[in-house]
């Protein structure tokens, strides 16, 4: 009987969702949806529609077919509640509804772009991002309750490369001021809202140096900045993939695969082979486009012919990195992630896969309790999980990076050393669904969020 009731609730919610898609400003439908979501114990959905009903109550019903910009903000808030709770598909739906009411709401375009990117819809995201920054360069998200801190976040509007720090900021007490500096005239720097601390969210060194003009613009902003600036451009610049071997040179028990940057494709296979020999690179090699994350465009090549043909398909500069076979004795590949806040290491996750391209989302972690148990051991006691040598090496990497916020993806070699995949500021961190298969990560994530908040408050108090 209980299963029948649950199915009935789901059917009701689906029917109401379809009705709201046709009439997103219908107060009666929102009221019924709130009741259905409460019955289903959907806390995020309930909060979104409860907020909407309170706002509609203040605004009153729409008059005919002429909703106001304020009504669009109600829909925007629904989308944002869903986005903050990791409900990206719901957030996308409501951001789209928002923009049908007010196509000129820049912040809705911006947030929709960010959410689409996380769903892998890069082309649509690019359209909305460009619209957002044509309309506006500064976006202010006020603290929900009592403001304690105002953080100016430098970012790029044209493309990705921003540090995903939204989840790290306490929305209750932190006012976020996002500034698309690459889209703004330099005179706009002097017109920014008051702020306590600046966080450079352009964490990808390739994006920060995408053009000489942008690199120089960031340097001038940093030189004139009157408030503490975290993750300064020069610190980000040291994390280019092809410079990482030099940056971490001499750190005990750390292996950094050799990496070179190709700005142009060699003219023929022989010239390619000569370049590789000069760089002391031997096959197999990983080919990675610049500013690519999440394994996008990464390919493995065991022959010079395969690499040569792949280079023809890369319409941009790229990296070539020596591939180390890091498969463990049990046949699995492991990728650990540790985040650094003010240099202090915090374990974030462990992904275990049968494939050398290890991603948490494709590693079938949820369906394998032994994998989750191993991850929980790493999160609870990284020193015991990694060993003394590797744990000390990770701490030394954080000190060498010198970032206010960053991280390292790595694995362990058979003799207990650290093989580094990447170390930079563009490291994802977010809360997991409270009752989902990865809820065990939330205790560690809360520690990271608390540390990040303390760091910002300490910097803002200077």
The least confident of 9-18, 193-202, 234-243, 273-282 is: 9-18
Average the pLDDT over 308-331 and give the result.
91
CATH 3.30.1490.20 intervals, the chain: 260-322
pLDDT-based confidence at 125, cuts 50/70/90? Answer: very high
pLDDT-based confidence at 162, cuts 50/70/90? Answer: low
3-state secondary structure the chain: CHHHHHHHHHHHHHHHHHHHHHCCCCHHHHHHHHHHHHHCCCHHHHHHHHHHHHHHHHHCCCECCECCHHHHHHHHHHHHHHHHCCCHHHHHHHHHHHHHHCCCCHHHHHHHHHHHHHCCCHHHHHHHHHHHHHHCCEEEECCCCCCCEEEEEEECCCCCCECCCHHHCCCCCEEEEEEEHHHCCHHHHHHCCCCCEEEECECCHHHHCCCHHHHHHHHHHHHHCCCCEECCHHHHHCCCHHHHHHHCCCCCCEECCCEEEECCCCCCHHHHHHHHHHCCCCCCEEEEECCCCCCCCCEEECCHHHHHHHHHHCCCCEEEEECCCCCCCCCCEEEEEEEEECCEEEEEEEEEECCCCCCHHHCCCCCCHHHHHHHHHHHHCHHHHHCHHHHHHHHHHHHHHCCCEEEEEEEECCCCCEEEEEEECCCCCCCCCCCCCCHHHHHHHHHHHHHHHHHHHHHHCC
For 333-460, which CATH class? alpha beta
User: In this predicted structure, what is the pLDDT of residue 65?
Assistant: 56
Average the pLDDT over 329-351 and give the result.
97
CATH 3.40.50 intervals, the chain: 137-237
Q: For the domain 1-135, what is the CATH code?
A: 1.25.40.10
User: In this predicted structure, what is the pLDDT of residue 441?
Assistant: 94
Say yes or no to pLDDT of 343 above 90.
yes
Rounded percentage of the chain residues whose pLDDT exceeds 70? 94
Average the pLDDT over 304-324 and give the result.
90
CATH architecture of 260-322: 2-Layer Sandwich (3.30)
User: In this predicted structure, what is the pLDDT of residue 129?
Assistant: 86
Say yes or no to pLDDT of 111 above 50.
yes
Average the pLDDT over 221-239 and give the result.
95
Question: Is the CATH number of domain 137-237 3.50.50?
Answer: no
pLDDT-based confidence at 160, cuts 50/70/90? Answer: low
Average the pLDDT over 426-431 and give the result.
88
User: In this predicted structure, what is the pLDDT of residue 158?
Assistant: 65
Say yes or no to pLDDT of 7 above 50.
no
The predicted-structure confidence for 251-266, as pLDDT tens digits, reads as follows: 999 999 999 999 988 9
The predicted-structure confidence for 37-59, as pLDDT tens digits, reads as follows: 999 999 999 999 999 999 888 88
pLDDT-based confidence at 2, cuts 50/70/90? Answer: very low
User: In this predicted structure, what is the pLDDT of residue 62?
Assistant: 52
CATH 3.30.470.20 intervals, the chain: 333-460
Average the pLDDT over 402-424 and give the result.
97
């Amino acid at each position: 009987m209980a299963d029948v009731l649950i199915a009935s609730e789901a059917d009701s919610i689906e029917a109401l969702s379809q009705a709201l898609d046709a009439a997103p400003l219908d107060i009666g439908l929102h009221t019924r949806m709130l009741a259905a979501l409460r019955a289903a114990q959907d806390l995020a959905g309930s909060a979104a529609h409860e907020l909407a009903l309170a706002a509609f109550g203040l605004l009153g019903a729409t008059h005919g077919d002429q909703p106001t910009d304020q009504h669009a903000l109600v829909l925007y808030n629904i989308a944002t509640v869903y986005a903050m709770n990791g409900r990206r598909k719901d957030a996308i739906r409501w951001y789209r509804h928002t923009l049908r009411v007010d196509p000129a709401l820049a912040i809705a375009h911006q947030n929709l772009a960010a959410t689409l990117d996380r769903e892998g819809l890069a082309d649509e995201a690019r359209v909305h991002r460009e619209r957002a920054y044509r309309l506006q360069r500064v976006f202010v998200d006020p603290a929900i309750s009592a403001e304690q801190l105002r953080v100016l976040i430098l970012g790029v509007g044209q493309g990705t490369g921003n540090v995903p720090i939204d989840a790290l900021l306490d929305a209750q007490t932190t006012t976020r001021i996002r500034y698309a500096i690459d889209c703004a005239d330099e005179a706009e720097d002097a017109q920014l809202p008051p702020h306590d601390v600046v966080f450079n969210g352009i964490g990808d060194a390739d994006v920060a140096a995408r053009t000489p003009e942008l690199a120089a613009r960031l340097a001038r902003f940093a030189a004139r900045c009157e408030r503490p600036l975290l993750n300064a451009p020069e610190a980000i610049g040291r994390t280019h993939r092809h410079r990482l071997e030099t940056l971490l040179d001499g750190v005990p028990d750390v292996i950094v695969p050799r990496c070179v940057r190709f700005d142009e494709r060699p003219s023929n296979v022989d010239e390619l082979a000569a370049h590789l020999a000069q760089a002391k690179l031997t096959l197999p090699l990983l080919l990675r486009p610049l500013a690519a994350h999440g394994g996008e465009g990464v390919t493995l090549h065991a022959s010079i012919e395969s690499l040569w043909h792949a280079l023809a398909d890369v319409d941009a500069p790229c990296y070539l990195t020596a591939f180390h076979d890091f498969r463990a004795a049990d046949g699995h590949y492991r990728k650990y992630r540790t985040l650094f806040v003010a240099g202090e290491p915090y374990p974030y996750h462990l992904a275990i896969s049968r494939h050398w391209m290890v991603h948490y989302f494709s590693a079938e972690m949820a369906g394998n309790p032994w994998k989750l148990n191993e991850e929980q051991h790493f999160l609870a006691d990284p020193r015991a999980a990694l060993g003394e040598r590797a744990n000390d090496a990770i701490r030394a990497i954080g000190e060498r990076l010198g970032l206010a916020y960053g991280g390292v993806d790595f694995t362990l070699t058979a003799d207990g050393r650290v093989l580094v995949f990447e170390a930079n500021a563009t490291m994802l961190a977010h809360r997991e669904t409270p009752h989902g298969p990865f809820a065990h990560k939330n205790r560690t994530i809360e520690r990271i969020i608390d540390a990040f908040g303390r760091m910002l408050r300490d910097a803002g108090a200077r």
